[in-house]
C-alpha cells in the first residue's frame, strides 16, 4: 500500500523543523506570533480610526443640521446659505420642495426622497449615500432632521476625507508593519541568543568534563534565572556523583585491603603446611584457615548488606509490623549469659543459649513472624520495617559491645513518646566524643581497635546507621560512665 503523499510531506516538514537550532525555532515562533499580533493590531487600529473619523463627521453634520433647524423654526434662514466646513444643506418644505440650499447642492432634486427622509428621521442616525446621481463625485454621509411646519433639513458631507485618512494610515501600516516585524525578529534573535548563551557555556563545560576530571564544575551564570537554577542543580548532581564515585572507590580499595589480610594469612599457613608436612599440626592449620575463612565470610556478608542498602537507595526491602519486644529477646537469647535484656524497664533476666554463626542469626530472623493474636499485640512495642534488618542492627551493636566489655552487655527496650528506644550498653573503654560520629563511617577503626584479630572490618556500625535511617530512625553513641551506650530511636507504628 502506497504511503499518503500528504502525510509523507508533513513528516518531512516536521523533520526539517526539528533539525533546526533552538535559537532559530524560538525566533521563528516569536516572529510568527509578532506578525499575527501586528496584523491584528493594524486591522483593529484602522477600524478604530475609521469609526472615530465617521463619528466626527456624523457629529459635525448633526450640529450643522441642528443649527439649520433652529434657523428654520425661527424663520430666519438666509437666501444664500453657506457652510464654512463644506457641509451640504437642503431645507425642504412640507410638500417636499427645496426652499433653501447651500452652493454646490441641487436646488431641484432632494438628496433623499420622501420615503427615504422618513426612514432616516426614524432611524435617527447618519447613513451613506452615493453622490454621483446628484452630480457630486463622492460618497456622502447624510443626516435628516425634522423642523416645524413639516419642514425637513438634509445635511451631507463628503466621505472622501475620511477615506483619504484611512488610506494614508493603511499605506503607512503596509510599509511600517513589515519593517517593524523585521526589527522585532532581529531583536528576538539577539535576545534569544543571549539567553541561550549560558546554556551553550554549560554544554561546553560538560564537554570538558572527562572521566579523569571529576572535580570540574559547570559554569554558573550570574543572572538568577532558570539557567542559573539548572547549572546549580547540575553542579549539585556532579558533586553527588563525585562523592558517590569517591565512596565507591574507597569501598573497593578498603574491601581489597581487608580481603588481602586474611587471604595472605591463609596462603601463608597453607604454604608452610605444604612445605613442611611432616612437622605440621594439620588440625591447628585447619583451625587457623577456618578462622580466616570466617572473617572473609563475615566481610562478604557485610559488603553484601551494604550493597543491598545502597541499591535500595534508603528504601526498605519489606514493610511489615515488627514487635521489638519479641525480636530483641529472641535475638539476644543466642548470646547466653553475656547479654542482659530489659524491656520497658523491667529486667527479664539472662537468657540461656549460644550463637553459632552469623548464618544462624539470619535464619533465626527469617523465622520471626508478626503476631497474629490481638491480645498478644496489645501493649507490644511495634515498629514498621524489616525484621531481618532490625535483627542485624541488634546483632552488630551487641557484637561491637562484646569486643570491648568484661561484664554482660545490657540491652534495653522502652518507649518514649512516639518512638521506640533500643539501647546497647557495655562497660568498655568507650569512645572519645570527637570520634563518636566518625565510627559510623565505612571501614573506620579507632587507634585502639585496629587489630584485625580483635575488631571487625569497620562495617558493622555503618550498616547499623544506614539501616536505622532506612526505617526513619536515628542512632548515636553516648557516654555510659563507664563504658559506651548505643542508642537507636525508631518511630512506633
Q: Is 329 exposed, middle or buried (0-12, 13-18, 19+ CB in 10 A)?
A: middle
331 vs 313, higher pLDDT = 331
Longest dimension (CA), the chain: 157
pLDDT above 70: percentage of residues in the chain: 87
Q: What is the predicted pLDDT for the residue at 3?
A: 54
Q: With a cut of 90, say whether residue 282 has pLDDT above it.
A: no
Mean pLDDT of the chain: 80
**488: closest CA among 388, 407, 383, 366?**
383
What pLDDT, in 10s, does the model give residues 343-390? 874 444 444 333 333 333 333 333 334 444 443 445 688 999 989 889
C-alpha cell of residue 118: 422618513
What per-residue confidence (pLDDT) applies to 26? 87
Query: How many alpha carbons fall within 13 Å on the CB side of residue 178?
Result: 4
Residues 6+ apart with CB under 8 A from 47: none
Q: Nearest CA to 111 among 80, 78, 88?
A: 88
pLDDT tens digits, residue range 9-39? 767 766 777 777 788 888 888 899 999 999 9
Residue 20 grid cell: 533546526
Q: Rounded distance, CA 196 to CA 352, Å?
A: 73
pTM of the prediction?
0.49
Q: Which residues neighbour 326 within 8 Å (Cβ) at sequence distance 6 or greater?
A: 368, 371, 380
- b/e burial code for range 360-391 (CB count within 10 A of at least 16 → b): ebeebbeebeebeeeeeeeeebbbbbbbbbbb
290-311: average pLDDT: 79
Average confidence (pLDDT) over 88-96: 90
CB 334, CB 409: distance < 8 Å? no
- Where does 403-479 have alpha helices with state H? 460-470
Report pLDDT for 212: 53
- Name the residue with cell 585491603: 257
The whole-angstrom separation of Cα 202 and Cα 489 is: 44
Direct distance between the N- and C-terminal alpha carbons of the chain, in angstroms, rounded to an integer: 64
Please state, as a whole number, how many other Cβ atoms lie within 10 Å of the Cβ of residue 87. Answer: 23
Among residues 117, 142, 119, which one has the least CA distance to residue 58?
A: 142
Task: Report whether pLDDT(216) > 80.
Answer: no
**Per-position DSSP letters for 192-249, written without gaps between them:** HHHHHHHHHHHHHHHHH--TT-TT------SS-SHHHHHHHHHHHHHHHHHHHHHHHH
Distance between CA atoms of residues 64 and 71, nearest Å: 11
**pLDDT tens-digit series, residues 167-213:** 888 888 888 888 998 998 899 888 888 878 888 887 787 777 765 55
pLDDT of residue 360: 33
In the chain, what are the domains?
5-51+164-203 (no CATH), 75-160 (3.30.450), 226-309 (1.10.287.130), 316-370+378-491 (3.30.565.10)
Cβ atoms within 10 A of the Cβ of 354, count? 11
Rounded Cα distance between 62 and 82, Å, is 16
Neighbours of 346 (CB within 10 A): 7
- With beta carbons less than 8 A apart as the criterion, state whether 467 and 452 touch: no
pLDDT of residue 213: 52
Amino acid at each position: 500500500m502506497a504511503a499518503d503523499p500528504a502525510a509523507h510531506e508533513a513528516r518531512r516538514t516536521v523533520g526539517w523543523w526539528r533539525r533546526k537550532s533552538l535559537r532559530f525555532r524560538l525566533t521563528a515562533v516569536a516572529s510568527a506570533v509578532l506578525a499575527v499580533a501586528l496584523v491584528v493590531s493594524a486591522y483593529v487600529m484602522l477600524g478604530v480610526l475609521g469609526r472615530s473619523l465617521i463619528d466626527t463627521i456624523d457629529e459635525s453634520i448633526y450640529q450643522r443640521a441642528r443649527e439649520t433647524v433652529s434657523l428654520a423654526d425661527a424663520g430666519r434662514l438666509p437666501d444664500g446659505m453657506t457652510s464654512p466646513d463644506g457641509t451640504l444643506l437642503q431645507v425642504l418644505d412640507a410638500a417636499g420642495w427645496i426652499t433653501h440650499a447651500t452652493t454646490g447642492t441641487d436646488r431641484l432634486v432632494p438628496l433623499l426622497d420622501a420615503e427615504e427622509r422618513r426612514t432616516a428621521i426614524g432611524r435617527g442616525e447618519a447613513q451613506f449615500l452615493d453622490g454621483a446621481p446628484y452630480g457630486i463625485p463622492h460618497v456622502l454621509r447624510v443626516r435628516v432632521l425634522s423642523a416645524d411646519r413639516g419642514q425637513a433639513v438634509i445635511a451631507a458631507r463628503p466621505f472622501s476625507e475620511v477615506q483619504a485618512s484611512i488610506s494614508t494610515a493603511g499605506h503607512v501600516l503596509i510599509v511600517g508593519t513589515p519593517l517593524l516585524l523585521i526589527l522585532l525578529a532581529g531583536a528576538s534573535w539577539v535576545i534569544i541568543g543571549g539567553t541561550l548563551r549560558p546554556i551553550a557555556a554549560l554544554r561546553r563545560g560538560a564537554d570538558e568534563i572527562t572521566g579523569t576530571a571529576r572535580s570540574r564544575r559547570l559554569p554558573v551564570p550570574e543572572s538568577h534565572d532558570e539557567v542559573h537554577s539548572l547549572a546549580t542543580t547540575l553542579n549539585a548532581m556532579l558533586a553527588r556523583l563525585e562523592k558517590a564515585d569517591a565512596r565507591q572507590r574507597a569501598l573497593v580499595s578498603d574491601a581489597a585491603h581487608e580481603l588481602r589480610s586474611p587471604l595472605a594469612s591463609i596462603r601463608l599457613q597453607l604454604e608452610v603446611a605444604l612445605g613442611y608436612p611432616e612437622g605440621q599440626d594439620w588440625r591447628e592449620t585447619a583451625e587457623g584457615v577456618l578462622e580466616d575463612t570466617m572473617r572473609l565470610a563475615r566481610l562478604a556478608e557485610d559488603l553484601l548488606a551494604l550493597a543491598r542498602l545502597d541499591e535500595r537507595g534508603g528504601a526498605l526491602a519489606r514493610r511489615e509490623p515488627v514487635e521489638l519486644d519479641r525480636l530483641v529477646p529472641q535475638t539476644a537469647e543466642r548470646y547466653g549469659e553475656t547479654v542482659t535484656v530489659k524491656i520497658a524497664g523491667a529486667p527479664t533476666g539472662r537468657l540461656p543459649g549460644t550463637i553459632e554463626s552469623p548464618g544462624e542469626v539470619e535464619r533465626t530472623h527469617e523465622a520471626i513472624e508478626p503476631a497474629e493474636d490481638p491480645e498478644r499485640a496489645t501493649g507490644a512495642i511495634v515498629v514498621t520495617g524489616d525484621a531481618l534488618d532490625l535483627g542485624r542492627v541488634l546483632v552488630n551493636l551487641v557484637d561491637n559491645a562484646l569486643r570491648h566489655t568484661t561484664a554482660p552487655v545490657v540491652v534495653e527496650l522502652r518507649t518514649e513518646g512516639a518512638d521506640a528506644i533500643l539501647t546497647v550498653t557495655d562497660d568498655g573503654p568507650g569512645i572519645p566524643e570527637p570520634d563518636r560520629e566518625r565510627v559510623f563511617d565505612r571501614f573506620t577503626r579507632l587507634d585502639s581497635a585496629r587489630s584485625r584479630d580483635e575488631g571487625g572490618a569497620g562495617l558493622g556500625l555503618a550498616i547499623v546507621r544506614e539501616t536505622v535511617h532506612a526505617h526513619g530512625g536515628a542512632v548515636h553513641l553516648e557516654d555510659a560512665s563507664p563504658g559506651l551506650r548505643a542508642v537507636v530511636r525508631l518511630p512506633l507504628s
